[in-house]
Amino acid sequence: VIADRMDQMINGFAFVELPAFAPGFDTFVKLEGLNPAGSIKLKTARSIVRSLERRGLLRPGSRIVESTSGNLGVALAAIGAACGYCVTLVVDPNANKRSIAAMAAFGAEIVVVTERDANGGYLGSRIRRILAMVADDPDLVWPNQYANENNVNAHRDSTAEEILAGFGAPDWLFVGAGTTGTLMGCVKRFGPYRDRTRIVGVDAVGSVTFGGPAATRNIPGLGTSRVPEIFDASADFEPVMVAEADTIRMCRRIARTYGLLLGGSSGTVLAAVHQLRNRISPGQRVMVVSPDLGDRYLDTVYNDAWVIEHIGAEALDEQRDSVLGEGVLSA
Ligand SMILES: Cc1ncc(COP(=O)(O)O)c(C=O)c1O
């Protein structure tokens, strides 16, 4: 492949099987961490920027401001660098240090919000900060990934389309929910396949998106402290919640069993497959969307001291595994 620009290098057709992940059915992972800028969010950033350009809202030197838990910021910073736009990213203390370093390497300005909002998260605080910045400077362009239909359409037209074109309609499709752009986009594109593919939306315990009570979360990527505008609770998917301790155990088992270092949200989504394993019929094919790889999480998910401090020592104890239980991956 010889590309004109780095965002043309998006690798949408990398699917890897996890042999014997669960007895009876076949589990595959769609690896989005192989994209430039390291995550699925390059598609979101590309779609958002293209739409702003089409509407004449971006000129060379324009400044984009966005709230991000990490990956969208890295992707926007990369696209901004490639297209000649300035980028300001509003992050919080849960944001990954390596992601922030990458944003800075691409030349973005970083603003860290430290006060928690009424739900104990940071999203409300990040949005408040952006509203104040936009009020001060009307030339700032705020795409607002939580309310931007181009976030949904990016995944309808790429992530979901790539699964259909490169793999075919799976029996089950498991997708994590952050802004819910990936989930809503997959639900839209798989509408005509409703009878063949069951979609499961996966979120972290403590997130409010699916209606659960708010609680502190430590792993970036999934979850919100405020329901995103693009989320449609009546959409055709099944919600599943996963505890952060199960995310940690799953990530670590996948690394040791398959030599695949996946990001935190990928472990969450795989833990949801395990949670539903008794409902998945023998011979069925399960597809899991993995938004990023694990190298950005070596200081957190894969670091014992961090896990003990933030999640609890039980997350390192496979015998106390609340979800993983018997069998899977233990052989
Ligand atoms: C690592 C990771 N996983 C999952 C997600 C969730 O994707 P979405 O925002 O499309 O719901 C994100 C979004 O930033 C992410 O960075």
Across 22-44, average pLDDT: 96
Across 220-243, average pLDDT: 95
Residue whose CA is closest, atom 4 of ligand 1? 221
Residue whose CA is closest, atom 13 of ligand 1? 221
Q: Ligand 1 mean position to 223 CA, how many Å?
A: 9
Q: What is the pLDDT of residue 330?
A: 37
Among 179, 172, 300, residue whose Cα is nearest residue 228: 179
Residue whose CA is closest, atom 6 of ligand 1? 178
Give the three-class secondary structure for 202. strand
Residue 42 has pLDDT above 70, yes or no: yes
Q: What is the pLDDT of residue 331?
A: 31
Q: Ligand 1 mean position to 221 CA, how many Å?
A: 5
Residue 187 has pLDDT above 60, yes or no: yes
Atom of ligand 1 minimally distant from the CA of 292: 1
Residue whose CA is closest, atom 15 of ligand 1? 221
Across 196-222, average pLDDT: 95
Give the helix/strand (H/E) hosting 15: strand 15-17
314 Cβ partners below 8 Å, 6+ apart? 245, 320
Question: Can you tell me the distance from the alpha carbon of 187 to that of 183, in angstroms, rounded to the nearest whole number?
Answer: 6
Neighbouring CB atoms inside 10 A of 55's CB total 8
> Between residues 221 and 231, which one has the greater pLDDT?
231
Q: Ligand 1 mean position to 324 CA, how many Å?
A: 23
Among 68, 74, 67, 45, residue whose Cα is nearest residue 58: 45
Which tens digits make up the pLDDT trace of 150-174?
999 999 999 999 999 999 999 999 9
Ligand 1 pocket, residues with Cβ under 6 angstroms: 39, 41, 69-72, 176-183, 221-222, 263, 265, 291-292
Among 319, 308, 330, 124, residue whose Cα is nearest residue 225: 124
Q: What is the pLDDT of residue 320?
A: 64
Q: Ligand 1 mean position to 99 CA, how many Å?
A: 13
49 Cβ partners below 8 Å, 6+ apart? 58, 64, 76, 79, 80, 83, 85, 143
Atom of ligand 1 minimally distant from the CA of 185: 10
Across 213-232, average pLDDT: 92
Q: What is the pLDDT of residue 319?
A: 63
* In the block, residue with structure tokens 């239909």: 149
Q: Ligand 1 mean position to 294 CA, how many Å?
A: 14
Residue whose CA is closest, atom 3 of ligand 1? 221
Q: Ligand 1 mean position to 177 CA, how many Å?
A: 7
Give the three-class secondary structure for 174. strand
* Tokens matching residue 162: 């790539």
Among 133, 120, 127, 142, residue whose Cα is nearest residue 58: 142
Q: What is the pLDDT of residue 1?
A: 83
Terminal Cα distance for the chain, rounded: 40
Question: Can you tell me the distance from the alpha carbon of 104 to that of 132, in angstroms, rounded to the nearest whole number?
Answer: 22
Residue whose CA is closest, atom 5 of ligand 1? 221
Atom of ligand 1 minimally distant from the CA of 179: 9
What does each C-alpha distance from 224 to 203, 312, 314, 315 come to in angstroms?
A: 9, 21, 24, 22
The full DSSP string for 215-274 is ----SSSS--SS--TT--TTSS-EEEEE-HHHHHHHHHHHHHHHS--B-HHHHHHHHHHH
Across 203-223, average pLDDT: 94
Ligand 1 pocket test: pick from 29, 31, 32, 40 the residue with the most ligand atoms within 8 Å of its Cβ.
Answer: 40
* Tokens matching residue 315: 């997350």
Q: Ligand 1 mean position to 331 CA, how many Å?
A: 31
pTM recorded for the entire structure? 0.94
Ligand 1 pocket test: pick from 41, 94, 156 the residue with the most ligand atoms within 8 Å of its Cβ.
Answer: 41
93 Cβ partners below 8 Å, 6+ apart? 112, 114, 122
Across 280-309, average pLDDT: 97
73: confidence class by pLDDT, cuts 50, 70, 90: very high
| Mean pLDDT for all residues in the chain | 93
Across 252-257, average pLDDT: 97
Q: What is the pLDDT of residue 96?
A: 84
Across 234-261, average pLDDT: 97
Q: Ligand 1 mean position to 56 CA, how many Å?
A: 27
